[in-house]
């Protein structure tokens, strides 16, 4: 039983360091604000994405699950290619081209994604 | 697609099926399938853990053979919820899961848990009626410990899929 508890504790403590989809995989000390144009979108589970072109770079921006975005008034058709969007979020600790958005602002409307 | 499927052809094929697309794109299918998966493994692992604990000496007042008759059919039946729902979540991102170390670890733990159950049923379990009043043999207790560790491992690796 003691071995089980130790194993569980190890797994739990290891999880944040290894996180990818969870928020801890992103560096919240480096908040980014990106203004760009959506080139591509995926309104998919478990997380939506957009490819956002900003001057000099194209980011993959990880959004929220589609069911949450829908509930908060951000249906798929708001993310159509060509749409201007501002995202505020944090860069992935290991993938320099990916960031996770805390919120997305389209046509002056802010949608919180966490 | 933002993450175009790349990998073994059969996984690319699975991921590009209509069913996989529905899993990704339908608003509520994915969460519902997740809920079915969780309900299924709660019953499966819950039943297994309760029986394992009995073998390890907890609640000796309950006859081990009766516990086996009550718990093990539920554990087996729960596979009908767990396996199809797991398959549906897998095909939604088959190539990504294939590359994911937590997924490989989960499959390994699953295979070992299945093997452990099989060996247990072919071996020590045959004398289960004798354990109702007397001590549980060491081989059965070892299988119970292995079962506990492996099922916790399956759940842990499954949850870490989202974090690796």
Q: Which residues pair with A58 in a beta bridge?
A: A53
Contact: B149, A4; criterion CB under 8 Å: yes
Q: What is the mean pLDDT of chain B?
A: 95
pLDDT tens string A51-74: 999 999 999 999 999 999 999 999
pLDDT digits (tens, 9 = 90+) for B29-88: 999 999 999 999 999 999 999 999 999 999 999 999 999 999 999 999 999 999 999 999
pLDDT of A7 above 90: no
Name the DSSP class of A21. S
At residue B80, the pLDDT reads 98
By Cβ distance, the residue of B27, B149, B152 closest to A67 is: B27
B110-124 pLDDT, tens digit each? 999 999 999 999 999
Confidence of residue A19 (pLDDT cuts 50, 70, 90): very low
- In chain B, which residue's Cα lies nearest the Cα of A47? B24
CA distance B4 to B10: 14
Cβ contacts of residue A83 below 8 Å, gap of 6+? A37, A38, A106
Give B4-35 pLDDT, tens digit per residue: 899 999 999 999 999 999 999 999 999 999 99
For residue B152, give the nearest of A8, A60, A66 by CB distance. A8
Q: Write the DSSP assignment of B8-29 as a string of letters.
A: SHHHHHHHTSHHHHHHHHSTTH
List residues bridging with A92 in a β-sheet. Answer: A26
Contact between A15 and B160 using a beta-carbon 8 Å cutoff: yes
């Amino acid at each position: 039983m003691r071995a089980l508890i130790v194993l569980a504790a190890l797994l739990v403590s290891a999880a944040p360091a290894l996180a990818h989809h969870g928020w801890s995989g992103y560096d919240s000390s480096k908040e980014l604000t990106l203004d760009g144009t959506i080139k591509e979108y995926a309104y998919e589970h478990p997380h939506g994405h957009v490819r956002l072109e900003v001057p000099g770079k194209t980011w993959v921006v990880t959004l929220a699950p589609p069911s949450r975005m829908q509930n908060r008034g951000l249906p798929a058709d708001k993310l159509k290619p060509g749409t201007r969007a501002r995202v505020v979020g944090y860069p992935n600790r290991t993938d320099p081209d990916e960031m996770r958005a805390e919120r997305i602002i389209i046509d002056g409307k802010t949608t919180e994604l966490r | 697609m933002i993450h175009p499927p790349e990998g073994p052809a059969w996984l690319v094929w699975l991921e590009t099926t209509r069913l996989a697309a529905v899993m990704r794109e339908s608003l509520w299918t994915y969460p519902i399938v997740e809920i079915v998966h969780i309900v299924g493994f709660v019953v499966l692992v819950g039943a297994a853990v309760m029986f394992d604990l009995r073998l390890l000496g907890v609640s000796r007042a309950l006859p081990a053979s009766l516990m086996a008759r009550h718990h093990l059919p539920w554990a087996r039946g729960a596979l009908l919820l767990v396996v199809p729902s797991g398959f549906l979540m897998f095909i939604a991102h088959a190539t990504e899961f294939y590359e994911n170390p937590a997924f490989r670890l989960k499959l390994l733990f699953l295979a070992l848990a299945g093997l452990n159950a099989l060996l247990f049923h072919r071996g020590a379990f045959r004398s289960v009626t004798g354990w109702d009043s007397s001590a549980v043999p060491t081989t059965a207790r070892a299988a119970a410990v292995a079962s506990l560790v492996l099922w916790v491992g399956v759940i842990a690796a499954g949850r870490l899929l989202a974090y690796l």
